C-alpha cells in the first residue's frame, strides 16, 4: 500500500499536479492506519491510464488494504475515468462513490528518509509508513536497493506475481488478452530464479500456487519444470539454460504496453520490472490489441513469438528454372508439361517450368546462388520420364480425390522408425529400431547389386544394355537388408537419382549407402548425439541432418565435415526439409518453432511459432511459396514463406501428425497421423484470398478463418496403423506407409 501511495505521490509531484496531491494526502489522513497485509494490487489493478499526464490517473493508483476500500477506490477511478476522456482504461472497475480514496497515513512529502521498497508489508504501522517516504530524490538508489533486497526476499515473489495477476485480470478486456501473455514467462523465470538462488521451499510453494493458472498448452513444460527443484538440476538441462539466457519474445500493442509499464514502474516493486527488462523482449506494434484467439494461434513456443525483424529478410521462394532440353519432345508432351507444370496459384506469372516464360521470376534465386551438381545424362532421361508421367497425371481436386495405396509393415514389433519412397515410387526403405535399414522394391523389378570387379571386367562395355549387364542376377531379391548402424534408425532419404540412400540414427552418425552395391559407403560423424532426421536435396549432392544437439547441419556427399551449421533452436531439431529450389532449409524443433535457414550463409531468415508441441513433419508446396507443418498437437499449420505469416490452420487430427505431403501440383495436402487416419485437405482453397496486406505484415495480426471443416476433403481410417509416411506418385496416386501395431 505504502509503496503505491508513495509512487502516486511521486508521480503527482512529477507532473506538478499539486491539487491532486493535496486531495490524496487529505484522503490518506482520513482513513488512518487501516493497513492490512493484503495484496495491494486488487485496487491498483488496471487503474493505469493509457495516456500520459492525467492528474486523476495518479489517484487511480491507490493501493488499499481492505476490500471495502477497493470499492471506493474503484469508485473514484470510475469518476476519474468518466471525467477525463483521454483515459483509455479501466472500464472494469465497478462504479461506486466518488472521490473517497482511503489511504493510510502516508504521505506528507516532507517526511524524511529513503524508503526501502522491499519493506515487508506485514509491519503496518504508521511509523514505518512515515519512514517510507517519497523517494523521488533518490529513485536510483531505491531501484538498486530493491533489486538487491528482493533478490534475497523470496517470500515476496508470490506477492508480486499475484499482484500482477490481479492487475492484469482487472484490466480492460482488450488489453487483458495481450497482457496475459506475460504470465507464463514471468512464472517460469521467477521460479527458476528461486531455484537458482536455492530457495527450495519458496520455489515449491510458488509453483504449487500458480502453475494451474497457466495456459493448457504449457503443461508439458511445467511438468519438466516441476522436476527441477535444485540448482544442480538446472545445470545439465541445456534447454532450461537456454531459456534462461534467451529473451522470451512477446508482441504487445503499444497501448497495452504503456499500461503495463506504468503499473510496474509505479508500483515500486521493481522485481517484476527487472525480470521483464532482463528476460523478456517486448516487441511493440502500433495498432489494435490482439484478441485471445489471435494470440493463442501464435504463441506456444519455448521462446515466445518471433520478433518481426526476424521475419523481414527477403526469401527467394521461387523455383529454379528447369533446364531446356535438347531431347526432342512431342508437341503433346510439351504442352502437357507447360500446363501441368504451372502451379495452381492465382498469380499468372508463376510459370516456372520451362519454355514459355523467358523472364526471371523475381522471387526465384539466381541459378548459381548455390553451386548445384550438373545434370548427368541419366538425370536428363529421368526428367524426360518425369515429364511424360506428368502428362498422364490425374488432376486432383475436391471432386477428384486421389486413391490411396497403403503399405503396411507387418511384424515390425513397433520397431519401424523411418520410411522413405523414391520419387518414381520404385523402392521403399524402412529404418528400424533394431538398427537395420531394409530396402524393398515396390515394382515387380527386383533389387540387384552390381557385379564384382572381376566379373565387370568381362562384360562388353559397348553394348546397349550395359546397365543391365552390370547387374548380378544372382543377387536379385525383393528385399535388401543393410547393417551398419548401432542404434535405431530415425531418418532415411533416397537420393533423387536413386543411387544413394541416407540413414541417420541414434548413434550420432549419418550413413550413405550405395544402392548399386547395397553396402555402406560413408559414415558422417558430426552430431555426437542422436540424429533425428535427414534429407537429400532435390538436386542431390547436398543433404541436411538435424539432431539432439539442437543444430542442423548441411553436408555434401564428398565432404566428411558439414558445410553449414544452423544453430539457434532451443531444443532438439526433429525435422529437416529442403525447399524445392534447394536454397533454403526448414527445420522443425522440439522447442515448437520452425526456422527457415539460408543455405548460402547459414542465416535464419524466418521463424514460425504457433505450434504447441514438437514439430514432426514439414512439407513445402510444389511452387515453393508455402510451408505446411504438423506437430504433436494434431494441428497442421500453413505458412506463407514470403510474408512470414501463418495463413491457415487445419484442425482435425487428434494425435501427432507424422506425415505431410502436397500433391504433385499442389492442389491437395495429405496428412497422416498417429491417430491412424489420413486426411486430405483442399490446398487451393486454403491458399486463395490471402490477407497479406501491409497491416498484416507490419503487425503480424492474423485472422485465421475457421474453415478447417470446409477444407477437409476426406478422412481415411486404417484399422490400427499409424501413418508414418506419405508420397504422391508422379501420377498423383497417394502412397502411405505405416507399421501395424496390434494394440
Partner 1 sequence: MEAAKMASPKSAPKDAQVMAQILKDMGITEYEPRVINQMLEFAYRYVTTILEDAKIYSSHAKKSSVDADDVRLAIQCRTDQSFTSPPPRDFLLDIARQKNQTPLPLIKPYSGPRLPPDRYCLTAPNYRLKALQKKVSSTAGRITVPRLSVGAVSSRPSTPTLGTPSAQAVSVSAKVGAPVSLAGQRFTVQIPSSQPAGKSAAPTTPTVQNVLINPSLIGPKNILITTNMVSQGTASDPNPLKRKHEDEDDYDTL
Minimum distance, C-beta of residue 598 to partner 1, in the bound complex (Å): 9
Nearer residue to partner 1 within complex by CB, 558 or 693: 558
Q: Is 541 a residue that touches partner 1 (CB under 8 A)?
A: yes
Instruction: Rule CB under 8 A: choose which of 417, 492, 557, 721 binds partner 1.
Output: 557
Stretch that binds partner 1, among 12-20, 150-158, 504-512, 701-709 (CB under 8 A): 504-512
Q: Buried b vs exposed e over 678-713: b needs ≥16 C-beta within 10 Å?
A: bbbbbbbbbbeebeeeeebbebbbbebeeebeebbb
Contact 172, 283 (CB under 8 A): no
Minimum distance, C-beta of residue 172 to partner 1, in the bound complex (Å): 36
Instruction: Rule CB under 8 A: choose which of 23, 259, 372, 575 binds partner 1.
Output: 372
Q: Is 521 a residue that touches partner 1 (CB under 8 A)?
A: yes
Minimum distance, C-beta of residue 497 to partner 1, in the bound complex (Å): 11
Nearer residue to partner 1 within complex by CB, 111 or 369: 369
Nearer residue to partner 1 within complex by CB, 96 or 373: 373
Q: Is 600 a residue that touches partner 1 (CB under 8 A)?
A: yes
Nearer residue to partner 1 within complex by CB, 400 or 466: 466
**Positive or negative, the Cα torsion across 392, 393, 398, 401?**
positive
Backbone angles phi and psi of 7, in degrees to 5: -65, -40
Q: Which of residues 394-453 bind partner 1 (CB under 8 A)?
A: 452-453
Stretch that binds partner 1, among 170-178, 353-361, 394-402, 520-528 (CB under 8 A): 520-528
Nearer residue to partner 1 within complex by CB, 604 or 735: 604
Interface with partner 1: number of residues (CB under 8 A)? 62
Nearer residue to partner 1 within complex by CB, 157 or 518: 518
Beta strands in 464-560 (DSSP E): 479-482, 489-494, 500-505, 509-514, 519-525, 531-536, 542-547, 551-556
Instruction: Rule CB under 8 A: choose which of 381, 563, 698, 717 binds partner 1.
Output: 563
Which grid coordinates are listed for 575? 525435422
Contact track, partner 1, 472-491, x by CB under 8 A: -----------xxxx-----
**Torsion, Cα of 265, 267, 271, 274 (10° steps):** -10
Q: Is 550 a residue that touches partner 1 (CB under 8 A)?
A: yes
Ramachandran region, residue 305 (left: φ > 0; alpha: ψ -120 to 50; beta: rest): beta
Nearer residue to partner 1 within complex by CB, 277 or 499: 499
Nearer residue to partner 1 within complex by CB, 83 or 528: 528
**The 3-state secondary structure of 345-395, one letter per residue:** CCCCCCCCCHHHCCCCCCCCCCCCCCCCCCCCHHHHHHHHHHHHHHHCCCC
**Residues β-bridged to residue 678:** 672, 716
Q: Is 198 a residue that touches partner 1 (CB under 8 A)?
A: no
Stretch that binds partner 1, among 119-127, 341-349, 542-550, 626-634 (CB under 8 A): 542-550
Stretch that binds partner 1, among 371-379, 630-638, 687-695, 726-734 (CB under 8 A): 371-379
Minimum distance, C-beta of residue 510 to partner 1, in the bound complex (Å): 11
Nearer residue to partner 1 within complex by CB, 148 or 560: 560
Minimum distance, C-beta of residue 305 to partner 1, in the bound complex (Å): 19
Minimum distance, C-beta of residue 203 to partner 1, in the bound complex (Å): 17
Which grid coordinates are listed for 120? 515487508
Stretch that binds partner 1, among 512-520, 617-625, 650-658, 718-726 (CB under 8 A): 512-520
Instruction: Rule CB under 8 A: choose which of 313, 392, 559, 695 binds partner 1.
Output: 559
Contact 95, 74 (CB under 8 A): yes
Q: Is 373 a residue that touches partner 1 (CB under 8 A)?
A: yes
Q: Is 568 a residue that touches partner 1 (CB under 8 A)?
A: yes
Minimum distance, C-beta of residue 433 to partner 1, in the bound complex (Å): 14
Listed residue (363, 370, 365) closest to 643, CA to CA:
363
Q: Is 564 a residue that touches partner 1 (CB under 8 A)?
A: yes
> d(Cα 287, Cα 310) in Å, to the nearest integer?
20
Pairing, β 280-285 against β 248-253: parallel
Q: Which of residues 42-61 bind partner 1 (CB under 8 A)?
A: none
The SS3 assignment for 415 reads coil
Transcribe 497-515 into DSSP letters: TSSEEEEEETTSEEEEEET
Q: Is 98 a residue that touches partner 1 (CB under 8 A)?
A: no
Instruction: Rule CB under 8 A: choose which of 53, 138, 499, 720 binds partner 1.
Output: 499
**Positive or negative, the Cα torsion across 515, 519, 525, 527?**
positive
Nearer residue to partner 1 within complex by CB, 605 or 711: 605
Q: Is 551 a residue that touches partner 1 (CB under 8 A)?
A: yes
Contacts of 602 (CB under 8 A, 6+ apart): 564, 565, 566
DSSP state of 69: H
Q: Is 565 a residue that touches partner 1 (CB under 8 A)?
A: yes
> d(Cα 384, Cα 703) in Å, to the nearest integer?
43
Nearer residue to partner 1 within complex by CB, 31 or 482: 482
Q: Show contacts of 717-720: CB within 8 Å, 24+ apart.
A: 717/676, 717/677, 718/406, 718/408, 718/676, 718/677, 718/678, 719/676, 720/676
Nearer residue to partner 1 within complex by CB, 241 or 329: 241
Q: Is 602 a residue that touches partner 1 (CB under 8 A)?
A: yes
Q: Is 562 a residue that touches partner 1 (CB under 8 A)?
A: yes
Q: Which of residues 212-271 bind partner 1 (CB under 8 A)?
A: 220, 223, 226-227, 236-238, 241-242, 245-246
* Exposure on the CB side of residue 410, measured as CA atoms within 13 A: 0
Instruction: Rule CB under 8 A: choose which of 82, 378, 463, 561 binds partner 1.
Output: 561
Instruction: Rule CB under 8 A: choose which of 141, 313, 567, 717 binds partner 1.
Output: 567
Stretch that binds partner 1, among 271-279, 511-519, 613-621, 712-720 (CB under 8 A): 511-519
Listed residue (621, 640, 610) closest to 579, CA to CA:
621
Q: Is 653 a residue that touches partner 1 (CB under 8 A)?
A: no
**The 3-state secondary structure of 218-277, one letter per residue:** HHHHHHHHHCCCCHHHHHHCHHHHHHHHCCEEEEEEHHHHHHHHHHHHHCCCHHHHHHHH
The SS3 assignment for 72 reads helix
Transcribe 558-617 into DSSP letters: T-SS-SEEEE--SS-EEEEEE-TTSSEEEEEETTSEEEEEETTT--EEEEEE--SS-EEE
Contact 726, 735 (CB under 8 A): yes
Give contact residues for partner 1 (rule: CB under 8 A): 220, 223, 226-227, 236-238, 241-242, 245-246, 370-374, 452-454, 457, 483-486, 499, 507, 509, 512, 514, 519-523, 525-526, 528-529, 541, 548-551, 556-568, 570, 599-603
Amino acid at each position: 500500500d505504502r509503496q503505491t501511495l508513495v509512487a502516486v505521490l511521486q508521480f503527482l509531484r512529477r507532473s506538478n499536479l499539486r491539487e491532486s496531491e493535496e486531495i490524496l494526502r487529505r484522503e490518506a489522513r482520513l482513513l488512518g492506519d487501516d493497513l492490512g497485509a493484503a495484496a495491494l494490487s486488487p485496487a491498483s489493478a488496471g487503474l493505469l491510464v493509457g495516456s500520459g499526464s492525467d492528474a486523476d490517473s495518479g489517484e487511480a493508483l491507490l493501493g488499499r488494504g481492505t476490500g471495502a476500500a477497493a470499492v471506493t477506490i474503484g469508485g473514484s477511478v470510475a469518476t476519474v475515468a468518466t471525467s477525463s476522456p483521454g483515459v483509455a482504461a479501466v472500464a472494469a472497475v465497478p462504479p461506486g462513490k466518488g472521490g473517497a480514496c482511503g489511504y493510510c497515513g502516508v504521505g506528507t512529502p516532507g517526511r524524511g528518509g529513503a524508503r526501502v521498497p522491499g519493506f515487508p508489508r506485514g509491519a503496518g504501522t504508521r511509523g514505518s509508513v512515515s519512514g517510507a517516504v517519497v523517494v523521488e530524490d533518490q529513485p536510483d538508489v531505491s531501484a538498486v536497493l530493491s533489486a538487491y533486497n528482493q533478490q534475497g526476499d523470496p517470500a515476496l515473489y508470490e506477492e508480486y506475481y499475484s499482484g500482477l495477476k490481479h492487475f492484469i485480470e482487472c484490466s480492460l478486456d482488450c488489453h487483458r488478452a495481450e497482457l496475459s501473455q506475460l504470465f507464463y514467462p514471468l512464472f517460469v523465470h521467477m521460479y527458476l530464479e528461486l531455484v537458482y538462488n536455492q530457495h527450495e521451499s519458496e520455489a515449491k510453494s510458488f509453483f504449487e500456487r500458480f502453475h494451474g493458472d497457466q495456459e493448457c498448452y504449457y503443461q508439458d513444460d511445467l511438468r519438466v519444470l516441476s522436476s527441477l527443484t535444485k540448482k544442480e538440476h538446472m545445470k545439465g538441462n541445456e534447454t532450461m539454460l537456454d531459456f534462461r539466457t534467451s529473451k522470451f519474445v512477446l508482441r504487445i500493442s503499444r497501448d497495452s504496453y504503456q499500461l503495463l509499464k506504468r503499473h510496474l514502474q509505479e508500483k515500486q516493486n521493481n522485481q517484476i520490472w527487472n525480470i521483464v527488462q532482463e528476460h523478456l523482449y517486448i516487441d511493440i506494434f502500433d495498432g489494435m490489441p490482439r484478441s485471445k484467439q489471435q494470440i493463442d494461434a501464435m504463441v506456444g513456443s519455448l521462446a515466445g513469438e518471433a520478433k518481426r525483424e526476424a521475419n523481414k529478410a527477403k526469401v527467394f521462394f521461387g523455383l529454379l528454372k528447369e533446364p531446356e532440353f535438347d531431347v526432342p519432345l512431342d508437341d503433346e508432351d510439351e504442352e502437357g508439361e507447360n500446363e501441368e507444370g504451372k502451379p495452381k496459384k492465382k498469380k499468372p506469372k508463376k510459370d516456372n517450368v520451362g519454355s514459355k516464360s523467358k523472364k526471371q521470376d523475381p522471387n526465384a534465386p539466381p541459378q548459381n546462388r548455390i553451386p548445384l551438381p550438373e545434370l548427368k545424362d541419366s538425370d536428363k532421361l529421368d526428367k524426360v520420364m518425369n515429364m511424360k508421367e506428368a502428362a498422364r497425371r490425374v488432376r486432383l481436386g475436391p471432386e477428384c480425390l486421389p486413391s490411396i495405396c497403403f503399405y503396411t509393415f507387418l511384424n515390425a514389433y513397433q520397431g519401424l522408425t523411418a520410411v522413405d519412397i523414391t520419387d518414381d515410387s520404385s523402392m521403399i526403405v524402412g529404418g528400424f529400431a533394431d538398427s537395420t535399414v531394409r530396402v524393398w522394391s515396390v515394382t515387380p523389378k527386383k533389387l540387384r547389386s552390381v557385379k564384382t570387379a572381376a566379373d565387370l571386367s568381362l562384360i562388353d562395355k559397348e553394348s546397349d544394355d550395359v546397365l543391365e549387364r552390370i547387374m548380378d542376377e544372382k543377387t536379385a531379391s525383393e528385399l535388401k537388408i543393410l547393417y551398419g548402424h548401432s542404434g535405431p534408425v530415425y531418418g532415411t532419404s533416397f537420393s533423387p537419382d536413386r543411387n544413394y540412400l541416407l540413414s541417420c540414427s541414434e548413434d550420432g552418425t549419418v550413413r550413405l549407402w550405395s544402392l548399386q552395391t547395397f553396402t555402406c559407403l560413408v559414415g558422417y560423424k558430426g552430431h555426437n548425439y542422436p540424429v533425428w532426421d535427414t534429407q537429400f536435396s532435390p538436386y542431390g549432392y547436398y543433404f541436411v541432418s538435424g539432431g539432439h544437439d539442437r543444430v542442423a547441419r548441411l553436408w555434401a556427399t564428398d565432404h566428411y565435415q558439414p558445410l553449414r551449421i544452423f544453430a539457434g533452436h532451443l531444443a532438439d531439431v526433429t525435422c529437416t526439409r529442403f525447399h524445392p529450389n534447394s536454397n533454403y532449409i526448414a527445420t522443425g524443433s522440439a522447442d515448437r518453432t520452425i526456422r527457415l535457414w539460408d543455405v548460402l550463409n547459414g542465416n535464419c531468415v524466418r521463424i514460425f511459432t504457433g505450434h504447441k508441441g514438437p514439430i514432426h513433419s514439414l512439407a513445402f508446396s510444389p511452387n515453393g511459396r508455402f510451408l505446411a507443418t504438423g506437430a504433436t498437437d494434431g494441428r497442421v499449420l500453413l505458412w506463407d514463406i514470403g510474408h512470414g505469416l501463418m495463413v491457415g490452420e487445419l484442425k482435425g487430427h487428434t494425435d501427432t501428425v507424422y506425415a505431410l505431403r502436397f500433391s504433385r501440383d499442389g492442389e491437395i495436402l495429405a496428412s497422416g497421423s498417429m491417430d491412424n487416419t489420413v486426411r486430405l485437405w483442399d490446398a487451393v482453397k486454403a491458399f486463395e484470398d490471402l490477407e497479406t496486406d501491409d497491416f498484416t505484415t507490419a503487425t503480424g495480426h492474423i485472422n485465421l478463418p475457421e474453415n478447417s471443416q470446409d477444407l477437409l476433403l476426406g478422412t481415411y481410417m486404417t484399422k490400427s496403423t499409424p501413418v508414418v509416411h506419405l508420397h504422391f506418385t508422379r501420377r498423383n496416386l497417394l502412397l502411405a506407409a505405416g507399421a501395424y501395431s496390434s494394440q
